[in-house]
């Protein structure tokens, strides 16, 4: 057997923090063969990114390799000088990062950034760099490459920026590509395009790939072998198929469980212990009268005829009935966030009516709605649980905020009692109420956001990608919490997301939006099983479906290809 | 981005300065009118009776309603007439033309000196946290911020003039033994270089050294601090990590990727720093008997010399607007994102 391209033996990395040394990864061993695609899967804090930084020797100042060996093609990476390391980076091993827009220098032309890499590694001279960079832009399928060479990152979409980052990484035809969450924050369709591009190019150049992700489904769809990491340890490693069919360790099983797939119900995501504690869901509920009725809603930005004129939402009509959950699905830029902002009355409408509890609220100017009587009945849970909390407010203060603003007559004792009640309702340990956002975990912050939203007993809750920033196991718990609350409090949901698989778990009906219009509307199972439009089909096809634990891997591939046709 | 778009943006920015200048005129006019003291009485002299004061008031146009006075003022201004400074008897325009270069030479010189020291210091401090450079940077920043300029000025004089005798006496721009160079730019250093008079250059530099250092020490603090903070931020950014992962040389990562981005907030800070220096200038000129407009303005203010104070405030404000304009334009040229809503 040929030696592996990259071999990591008992690697440990320590970080010096104010509270002393923290071991981020502890004695892990893994290897990548030539031409192989390895997936490293784990939740935040598992040490998966730190592993890759250690390989590239680009750890922060605080981090240092505490033990173990990294060898690449027979070289001991942890021993070589920084100068030699620089020649290896970009030329032998290169890396793609998450958040592509931030990963590019904002004030340098993207083509120039690719050219920098080419010139650095003597793949081009100053005179040929431009042509070679354009060649790379073409290789990553950027149209109009000649013109795009001159573009700055802010002028490109997230997907485009990621293509540029890929072009930078592959410019010198390295042997090993490390992709660190390359599609986090991108739409499902863009995710598929980017992942397909990476696998196509790495296959063409006969490169090895390490894909670091929190998404088991994505890793399974693109990798030969998977390594599951938890808290700095390798839990399990096996071929993708074997890992899915016969997970050995409890953590892997839990992770597999929590990853939503086509046939799972919201309760299936929980561990057996959690399921035992969960509320029994009614078999089916019949939705009541219309709660929210949106008619011919339209939103224009800029003046017609001017350069920045843009119609974000055109002629949108839909109803949400009492006790119903409606999913609003579409790619970024389809107008779903504009729609939610208009319903929340954060944004004025151009045309159309929004009837909520029998009153047309579209006529109320956005600035005045904050003091409107109906404001308490309409609440929102935001996408980023960290950024949507005031960093200087304790959890208690955040939850108290709507109570203070919308029912100022409440006595302090009543408010205190209500906060405790809310914390219990969302499963936030009462002793955490005094903590500030930075002292809470992602899931705990999400609970604070939800408690704040339900404080005024709203009729309608708008959920704007509430789990997009959370780990799968936390997502599973939060989704279940939302399902419980809906039945306990009799709320209706408007669930906004780009991920059909997640929306399906909570919603009875789904609306698919594209370019400000509804392209398809129907029951969740209709949309999932028998989509009528090509757009919905492409959205479905883009979701990387992990195989059901008993199904064989070949069926999964067939499914994905089916949908793509 | 085409060059056309950029030049259009620059032009827009220049046009935006016009209302600002008009606003300055109004404020400056009203402020001087609000000063205590009656200029008519001052002009008429100690022996004047009520009637002759009234006479003088009429001659000066001070009996007119305020809006009329303003129109006359702006009209005169457009012809370059700033009035006559009572204290010296010369026109304000002449006074300013003579004194402004002296102040500018000091201010710009100090700004330049501060930049040359502060920017590399900030960069070095950011790339080597907790090293001796970082500590030096912290020391200079703290000293520069906490020591008032008149104190530094006097302390420097005490050590380098009184104790060591290295510096010439603080008696203005040039030693008595020298004649000023032919005024071309009004900056003695530059004019003496043009004239090829090296002894003169040396003499003027010697006179300038202490006030320059005093001002520069005060100026470099905010610049060094901002550079260090901005560099720390860009060095921790995702794009610098990408550049490092792509194996770019340390030089390229530091300069092209980190420093150029860090420069943006530093440029913004410069505008603010310039206004500090203009203020500090007044004190430093007093300490070193520097014949600039700062000391001129203080004297004029004491005797409520309208025209002179107005001329001073106006020229300072215009200078400030011009420099801010320059900074904004530079910013527009460096940062492609300006004017785009992201």
- Can you tell me the distance from the alpha carbon of B83 to that of B310, in angstroms, rounded to the nearest whole number? 9
Please list every residue in chain B whose beta carbon sits closer than 8 Å to the beta carbon of residue A88: 247
> For A178, which residue in chain B has the nearest alpha carbon?
B245
Query: How close, in Å, is residue B300 to chain A by CA atoms?
Result: 48
Contact indicator for A288, A276 with CB cutoff of 8 Å:
no
Q: In this structure, is residue B12 part of a structural domain?
A: no
Query: How close, in Å, is residue B119 to chain A by CA atoms?
Result: 20
User: What pLDDT, on the 0 to 100 scale, is given for residue A548?
Assistant: 55
Q: In this structure, is residue B22 part of a structural domain?
A: no
Q: Residue A121 and residue B245: Cβ atoms within 8 Å?
A: no
CA distances from B298 to A341, B36, B112, B295 (A): 57, 15, 26, 5
> For A57, which residue in chain B has the nearest alpha carbon?
B245
Q: In this structure, is residue B287 part of a structural domain?
A: yes
Query: Strand A233-239 to strand A225-230: parallel, antiparallel, or no bridges (unpaired)?
Result: antiparallel
Query: How close, in Å, is residue B244 to chain A by CA atoms?
Result: 7
Contact indicator for A477, A274 with CB cutoff of 8 Å:
yes
CA distances from A316 to A120, A311, A433, A538 (A): 52, 12, 41, 22
pLDDT tens, B270-326?
888 888 888 888 888 888 888 888 888 888 877 777 778 888 888 888 888 888 888
Q: In this structure, is residue B51 part of a structural domain?
A: no
Instruction: Among B245, B260, B261, select the one facing A56 at the smallest CB separation.
Output: B245
Q: Please, what is the Cα angle at A494 between A492 and A497, to 5 degrees?
A: 145
Contact indicator for B226, B137 with CB cutoff of 8 Å:
no
Instruction: Among A107, A152, A168, select the one facing B246 at the smallest CB separation.
Output: A168
> For A61, which residue in chain B has the nearest alpha carbon?
B129
Tell me how many residue pairs between chain A and chain B have CB atoms under 8 A apart: 86
pLDDT band at residue B1, thresholds of 50, 70 and 90? very low
Query: How close, in Å, is residue A169 to chain B by CA atoms?
Result: 7
Instruction: Among A88, A103, A152, select the one facing B247 at the smallest CB separation.
Output: A88
Domains in chain B: how many in total? 1
Instruction: Among A58, A61, A104, select the one facing B239 at the smallest CB separation.
Output: A104
- Can you tell me the distance from the alpha carbon of B99 to that of B299, in angstroms, rounded to the nearest whole number? 13
Q: Residue A103 and residue B1: Cβ atoms within 8 Å?
A: no
Q: In this structure, is residue B305 part of a structural domain?
A: yes
Q: Residue B248 and residue A107: Cβ atoms within 8 Å?
A: no
Contact indicator for A238, A226 with CB cutoff of 8 Å:
yes
- Can you tell me the distance from the alpha carbon of A176 to that of A272, in angstroms, rounded to the nearest whole number? 40
Q: In this structure, is residue B216 part of a structural domain?
A: yes
SS3 for A472-533 is: HHHHHHHHHHHHHHHHHHCCEEEEEECCHHHHHHHCCEEEEEECCEEEEEEEHHHHHHCCCC
> For B250, which residue in chain A has the nearest alpha carbon?
A86
Please list every residue in chain A whose beta carbon sits closer than 8 Å to the beta carbon of residue B238: 97, 99, 102-103
Contact indicator for A355, A305 with CB cutoff of 8 Å:
no
Please list every residue in chain A whose beta carbon sits closer than 8 Å to the beta carbon of residue B251: none
Share of residues in chain B with pLDDT > 90 (%): 12
| Domains identified in chain A and CATH numbers | 34-58+81-268 (3.40.50.300), 290-545 (3.40.50.300)
Q: In this structure, is residue B167 part of a structural domain?
A: yes
For an interface test with A, the pick among B247, B257, B334 (most A C-beta atoms closer than 10 Å) comes out as B247
Query: How close, in Å, is residue A365 to chain B by CA atoms?
Result: 24
Instruction: Among A58, A86, A152, select the one facing B336 at the smallest CB separation.
Output: A152
Give contacts of A 231-290 with B, CB under 8 A.
none
User: What pLDDT, on the 0 to 100 scale, is given for residue B339?
Assistant: 61
- Can you tell me the distance from the alpha carbon of A510 to that of A494, in angstroms, rounded to the nearest whole number? 10
Please list every residue in chain B whose beta carbon sits closer than 8 Å to the beta carbon of residue A61: 129
Query: How close, in Å, is residue A267 to chain B by CA atoms?
Result: 38
What are the phi and psi torsion angles at A233 (to 5°)?
Answer: -120, 155
Tell me what the mean pLDDT of segment B8-31 comes to. 84
ipTM given for this complex? 0.77
For the CA atoms of A137, A142, A148, A152, what is the dihedral angle to 10 degrees?
-90
Q: In this structure, is residue B285 part of a structural domain?
A: yes
User: What pLDDT, on the 0 to 100 scale, is given for residue B121?
Assistant: 92
Please list every residue in chain B whose beta carbon sits closer than 8 Å to the beta carbon of residue A95: 242, 245-246
Nearest to A30 by CA among A313, A294, A278, A225: A225
Q: What is the CATH number of the domain that holds B198?
A: 1.10.3720.10
Nearest to A49 by CA among A73, A13, A9: A13
Residue B154 structure tokens: 């006097």
Query: Strand A176-180 to strand A93-96: parallel, antiparallel, or no bridges (unpaired)?
Result: parallel
Q: Residue A105 and residue B249: Cβ atoms within 8 Å?
A: no
Residues in CB range of A310: below 8 A, 6 or more apart = A300, A301, A302
A90 part of contact set with chain B, CB < 8 Å: yes
- Can you tell me the distance from the alpha carbon of B170 to that of B212, in angstroms, rounded to the nearest whole number? 12
**Which residues lie across from A239 on neighbouring strands?**
A225
Distance, first Cα to last Cα, chain A: 39
A94 part of contact set with chain B, CB < 8 Å: yes
**Which residues lie across from A75 on neighbouring strands?**
A72
> For A308, which residue in chain B has the nearest alpha carbon?
B341
Please list every residue in chain A whose beta carbon sits closer than 8 Å to the beta carbon of residue B339: none
Residue B162 confidence (pLDDT) above 70: yes
Please list every residue in chain A whose beta carbon sits closer than 8 Å to the beta carbon of residue B239: 102-106
Q: What is the pLDDT along chain A (565 residues), one digit of tens a residue?
A: 577 889 998 989 888 888 888 888 888 898 999 889 999 998 887 888 889 888 888 887 788 888 888 888 888 887 888 888 888 888 889 999 888 888 999 999 999 999 999 998 888 888 888 898 998 898 888 888 888 898 888 888 888 888 899 999 988 889 999 999 888 878 888 888 888 998 898 898 889 999 998 888 888 888 889 999 988 889 888 888 888 888 888 888 888 888 887 777 777 777 777 777 776 766 666 777 888 888 888 888 877 776 677 888 888 899 998 888 899 988 887 888 888 888 888 888 888 888 888 888 888 888 888 888 888 889 999 888 888 899 999 999 999 999 988 888 888 999 999 999 999 888 888 888 998 988 888 888 989 999 999 998 899 999 988 887 788 888 888 888 888 888 888 889 999 988 888 888 888 899 999 888 899 998 888 888 888 999 988 888 888 866 555 544 444 443 444 433 3
Instruction: Among A86, A99, A155, select the one facing B238 at the smallest CB separation.
Output: A99
Please list every residue in chain B whose beta carbon sits closer than 8 Å to the beta carbon of residue A87: 247
Instruction: Among A106, A120, A150, select the one facing B247 at the smallest CB separation.
Output: A120
User: What pLDDT, on the 0 to 100 scale, is given for residue A284?
Assistant: 63
Please list every residue in chain A whose beta carbon sits closer than 8 Å to the beta carbon of residue B341: 308
Mean model confidence pLDDT for chain B = 84
Q: Residue A105 and residue B256: Cβ atoms within 8 Å?
A: yes
Q: Angle of helix B198-235 relative to helix B92-127, nearest 10 degrees?
A: 50
Q: Which domain holds residue B156?
A: 98-334
Nearest to B149 by CA among B289, B284, B295: B284
Q: Angle of helix B293-302 relative to helix B306-334, nearest 10 degrees?
A: 140
Contact indicator for A130, A103 with CB cutoff of 8 Å:
no
User: What pLDDT, on the 0 to 100 scale, is given for residue A212?
Assistant: 92
Q: Residue A120 and residue B261: Cβ atoms within 8 Å?
A: no
Please list every residue in chain B whose beta carbon sits closer than 8 Å to the beta carbon of residue A58: 241, 244-245
Interface of B with A (CB under 8 A): 1, 129, 237-239, 241-250, 252, 256-257, 260-261, 264, 334-337, 340-342
A310 part of contact set with chain B, CB < 8 Å: no
Tell me which DSSP letter residue A139 carries: H
> For B248, which residue in chain A has the nearest alpha carbon?
A120
């Amino acid at each position: 057997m040929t030696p592996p391209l990259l071999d990591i033996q008992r690697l440990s990395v320590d970080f010096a923090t104010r509270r002393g040394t923290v071991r981020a990864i502890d004695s892990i061993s893994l290897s990548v063969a030539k031409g192989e695609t390895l997936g490293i899967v784990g939740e935040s804090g598992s040490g998966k990114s730190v592993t890759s930084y250690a390989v590239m020797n680009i750890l922060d100042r605080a981090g240092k390799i505490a033990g173990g060996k990294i060898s690449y093609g027979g070289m001991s990476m942890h021993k070589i000088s920084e100068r030699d390391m620089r020649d290896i980076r970009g030329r032998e091993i290169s890396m793609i990062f998450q958040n592509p827009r931030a990963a590019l220098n904002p004030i340098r032309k993207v083509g120039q950034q690719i050219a920098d890499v080419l010139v650095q590694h003597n793949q081009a001279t100053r005179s040929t760099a431009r042509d070679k960079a354009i060649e790379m832009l073409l290789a990553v399928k950027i149209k109009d490459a000649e013109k795009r060479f001159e573009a700055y990152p802010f002028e490109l979409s997230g997907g485009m920026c990621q293509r540029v980052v890929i072009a930078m990484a592959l410019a010198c035809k390295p042997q090993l590509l490390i992709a660190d969450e390359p599609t986090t924050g991108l739409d499902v369709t863009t995710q598929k395009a980017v992942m397909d591009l990476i696998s196509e190019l790495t296959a063409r150049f006969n490169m090895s790939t390490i894909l670091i992700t929190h998404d088991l489904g994505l890793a399974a769809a693109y990798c030969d072998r998977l390594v599951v990491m938890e808290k700095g340890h390798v839990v399990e490693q096996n071929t993708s198929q074997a890992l899915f069919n016969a997970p050995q360790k409890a953590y892997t099983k839990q992770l597999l469980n929590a990853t939503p797939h086509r046939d799972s119900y919201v309760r299936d995501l929980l561990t057996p212990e959690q399921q035992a504690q969960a509320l029994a869901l009614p078999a089916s509920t019949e939705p009541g009268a219309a709660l929210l009725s949106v008619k011919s809603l339209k939103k224009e930005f800029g003046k017609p005829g001017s350069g920045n004129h843009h119609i974000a939402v055109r002629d949108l009509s839909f109803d949400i009935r009492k006790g119903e959950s409606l999913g609003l699905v579409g790619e970024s830029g389809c107008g779903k966030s504009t729609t939610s902002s208009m319903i929340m009355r954060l944004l004025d409408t151009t045309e159309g009516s929004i009837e909520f509890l029998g009153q047309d609220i579209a006529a109320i100017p956005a600035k005045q709605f904050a003091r409107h009587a109906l404001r308490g009945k309409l609440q929102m849970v935001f996408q980023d649980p960290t950024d949507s909390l005031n960093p200087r407010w304790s959890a208690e203060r955040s939850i108290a905020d709507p109570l203070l603003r919308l029912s100022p007559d409440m006595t302090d004792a009543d408010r205190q009692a209500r906060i405790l009640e809310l914390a219990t309702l969302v499963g936030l340990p009462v002793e955490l109420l005094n903590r500030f956002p930075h002292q809470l975990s992602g899931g705990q912050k999400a609970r604070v956001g939800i408690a704040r939203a339900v404080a005024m007993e709203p009729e309608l809750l708008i959920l704007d990608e509430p789990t997009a920033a959370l780990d799968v196991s936390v997502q599973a718990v939060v989704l279940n919490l939302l399902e419980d609350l809906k039945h306990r409090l009799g709320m209706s949901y408007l669930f906004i997301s780009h991920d059909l698989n997640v929306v399906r778990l909570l919603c009875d009906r789904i609306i698919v939006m594209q370019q400000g219009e509804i392209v398809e509307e129907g029951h969740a199972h209709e949309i999932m099983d028998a989509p009528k439009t090509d757009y919905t089909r492409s959205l479905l096809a883009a979701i990387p479906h992990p195989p059901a634990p008993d199904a064989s891997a070949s069926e999964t591939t067939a499914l994905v290809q089916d949908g793509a046709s | 981005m085409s060059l056309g778009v950029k030049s259009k943006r620059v032009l827009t920015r220049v046009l935006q300065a016009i209302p600002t200048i008009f606003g300055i005129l109004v404020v400056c006019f009203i402020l001087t009118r609000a000063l205590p003291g009656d200029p008519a009485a001052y002009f008429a002299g100690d022996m004047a009776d009520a009637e002759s004061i009234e006479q003088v008031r009429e001659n000066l146009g001070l009996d007119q309603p305020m809006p009329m006075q303003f129109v006359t003022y702006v009209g005169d201004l457009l012809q370059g007439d700033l009035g006559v400074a009572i204290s010296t008897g010369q026109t304000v325009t002449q006074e300013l033309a003579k004194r402004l270069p002296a102040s500018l030479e000091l201010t710009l010189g100090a700004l330049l000196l501060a930049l040359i020291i502060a920017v590399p210091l900030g960069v070095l401090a950011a790339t080597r946290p907790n090293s001796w450079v970082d500590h030096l940077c912290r020391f200079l920043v703290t000293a520069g911020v906490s020591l008032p300029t008149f104190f530094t000025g006097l302390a420097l004089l005490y050590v380098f003039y009184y104790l060591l005798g290295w510096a010439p006496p603080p008696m203005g721009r040039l030693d008595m033994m020298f004649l000023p160079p032919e005024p071309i730019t009004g900056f003695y250093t530059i004019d003496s270089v043009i004239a090829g008079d090296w002894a003169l250059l040396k003499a003027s530099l010697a006179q300038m050294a202490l006030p320059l250092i005093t001002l520069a020490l005060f100026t470099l603090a905010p610049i060094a601090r901002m550079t260090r903070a901005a560099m720390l931020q860009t060095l921790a950014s995702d794009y610098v990590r990408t550049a490092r992962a792509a194996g770019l040389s340390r030089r390229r990562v530091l300069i092209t990727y980190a420093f150029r981005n860090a420069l943006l907030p530093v440029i913004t800070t410069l505008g603010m720093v310039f206004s500090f220096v203009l203020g500090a200038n007044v004190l430093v000129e007093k300490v070193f008997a520097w014949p600039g407009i700062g000391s001129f303005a203080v004297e004029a203010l004491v005797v409520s010399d309208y025209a002179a104070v107005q001329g001073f405030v106006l020229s300072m404000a215009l200078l400030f607007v011009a420099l801010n304009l320059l900074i904004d334009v530079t910013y527009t040229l460096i940062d492609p994102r300006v004017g785009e809503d992201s």
